[in-house]
Amino acid sequence: MKAHFLIFAAAVCAASSAQAQISYGGEPLSFSRPLSIEAPTTLMPHVDVPALLAEDEENMRTKVGAFRFAPTLPVELSLDNSGVWTSFDNGDRMWRLRIESPGAYSINVIFDSFWMPPGASLFVYNDDRSWVLGEFNELNNESHGQFAIQPVVGEAVTFEYYEPANAPSGRLQISEVFPAYRDLYGLGKAGGGKASGSCNINVNCPLGANFQDVKRSSARLVMGGGLCSGSLVTNTANDGKQYFMTANHCYGGNPATWVFQFNYEAVNCNGTTGSMQSVTGSTLKTKSATGDHCLVQITPTIPQNYNAYLAGWSRSTTNPTMGTGIHHPQGDIKKICQDINSLTKATFGGTNCWHISQWDFGVTEPGSSGSPIYDQNKRYVGQLYGGSATCSFLFDDYYGRFDISMGAGLATYLDPLGTGQTTTDGRELYQPAASVYCTSKVNSQFCNPVIAFTGTASASSGSPFTISCSALINNKNGLFFYGYTPLGASFQGGHLCIKAPTKRLSVQNTGGNPPPDDCSGALSVNFNAVIQGGSDPALIPGAKIYVQTWARDPNDFNGFGTQLSDALQFTIGN
């Protein structure tokens, strides 16, 4: 097939990566179809690294503000005024542009105009093709018409856009280029490149063993040329909305072009780098200096293979008895820090905060801003505002208080039902919420026993998943039983909601008021203890479980001497 070329003169001089961004596979056409004309290069202005580092010094001292890794270079590079078009005999065509910034560790860009027609594709790759992003296509289109790519390692990146014949014309315009003067991926330590301090602890070290669920909430946040940390959080509706918390003082640029990099961590305790999985785009929900919070909702659906987790939270005003942070200091791989003593209330920069008086393990640094602090129950209680702590001075870090933020607009989104509840437990993003089904049997006191739950079923979490049943007749023996298939058959004047085979848990007494009979009885069980106890090998992540309550009722209207609740169905998470 013959190719014909059209080069724009504006600003022209002379394998699939593990760092995945949501894309749809394949490889650039030019990799298998060499072209006779190279992509023309747009050379970025010189970056004065020493001057930028000097400017950063004060912000880094207090950790206030995003951690800058690249200057913002405004451009207007579009399909119409730059690059080279290649036309093929069948009517298809390709556009390519190479952007170079000598000495840069990586380059990322923002598109202020982005629309891909059906069948079109965009790839972004570095000179040695060790990093390839794409394909991006019409599935990446958003109504706001903007897009961003994560930093790609190298001094130069090439954009390759392919448009089939008879397709509508696509729209691509790069508005900002960010050449990194800091090494975001730990691939070199010269110049401005720098890993975090030596006292920082990888999240997969023994200290992080009990935080393997909530660590999957955390992400490194790329906002143009700045970095912060943050975390996914759940809400009381338990509806799986992709809410992401960071700090108000991190807010910058347009959330539609923020890049969220999940799972950037070493696989072991001593590793120095790792792969990551990224998504681009969010919408602002609320932010306030009162608690230094910023809540956004991630726009694209986070892929299931990211294994993301929604952190639970506590709005209690009681001082946490310990605090654990998970963060990306100086943009480094995911780290963990911990203060084993009680947090105290304090004011920092006019904001009500939780005060870490001294870290016992690890520390925070610039780039950690916005990262979560968890209490003794692994519940989110705040996000890093700032402080003085370093590896050589382990004192005085401050986290905006979640309880204050809930009263400053956050509750609209994280307690949408207005329950006022003080705590929520975390859950898997892709774990269907537990739900009640079937119909309970009216007992001899004219009550319908009601099954309920708090928490999330998990094969590893230390938090409870409590199943309870209320409105049972007092002081009678009862139990929970479970199985693997739902049912709705008539049984003893009520409904048997679980198909055999079923398994019984231990007999309990319903308790409640002293005689005579009333409906004050109740039963409860921590089903996570059952899952993790090892007695049933079928209780594994992904298993669907059905639970119902049975108890004695000597005065049963139907003569069977039993009472039956409705039933609960749920899926076991990791």
> Is the distance from CB of 152 to CB of 124 less than 8 angstroms?
yes
Task: Return the amino acid letter for 135.
Answer: E
The phi and psi torsions of 112 (rounded to 5 degrees) equal -90, -5
> Is the distance from CB of 292 to CB of 309 less than 8 angstroms?
no
> Is the distance from CB of 234 to CB of 311 less than 8 angstroms?
yes
Beta strands, E only, 105-225: 106-115, 121-126, 132-136, 147-148, 152-153, 156-163, 171-179, 201-202, 218-223
Marked catalytic residue, from 92, 213, 217, 249: 249
142 Rama class: left (phi>0) / alpha (psi -120 to 50) / beta? beta
What letters, b where the CB count within 10 A reaches 16 and e where it falls short, cover 144-168?
Answer: eebbbbbbbbbbbbbbbbbbeeebe
Residues in the chain: 574
In 3D, which of 370, 429, 356 has the Cα closest to residue 405? 370
Active site residue 556: no
Question: Cβ atoms within 10 A of the Cβ of 252, count?
Answer: 16
What is the SS3 assignment for 257? helix
Hunting for tokens 């090439």 — which residue is that? Answer: 158
CB neighbour list of residue 130: distance below 8 Å, 6 or more residues apart: 15, 17, 153, 154
Q: Give Dmax (Cα) for the chain.
A: 95
Q: What does DSSP assign to residue 470?
A: E
Q: What does DSSP assign to residue 407?
A: I
Active site residue 130: no
In 3D, which of 368, 370, 357 has the Cα closest to residue 320? 357
CB neighbour list of residue 185: distance below 8 Å, 6 or more residues apart: 19, 105, 106, 151, 153, 273
Task: Return the amino acid letter for 538.
Answer: A
Beta strands, E only, 238-318: 243-246, 259-262, 276-280, 282-288, 293-298, 309-310, 313-314
Question: Cβ atoms within 10 A of the Cβ of 46, count?
Answer: 9
Hunting for tokens 């004065």 — which residue is that? Answer: 48
Marked catalytic residue, from 30, 82, 196, 369: 369
Distance CA 136, CA 217 (A): 25
Distance CA 283, CA 561 (A): 56
In 3D, which of 283, 252, 308 has the Cα closest to residue 66? 252
Active site residue 292: yes
Handedness of CA 65, 66, 70, 74 (dihedral sign): negative
> Is the distance from CB of 465 to CB of 458 less than 8 angstroms?
yes
HEC letters along 320-353: CCCEEEEECHHHCCCEEEEECCCCEEEEECCEEE
Hunting for tokens 């049984």 — which residue is that? Answer: 491
In 3D, which of 163, 430, 111 has the Cα closest to residue 280? 111
Q: Could you list the active site residues? A: 249, 292, 369
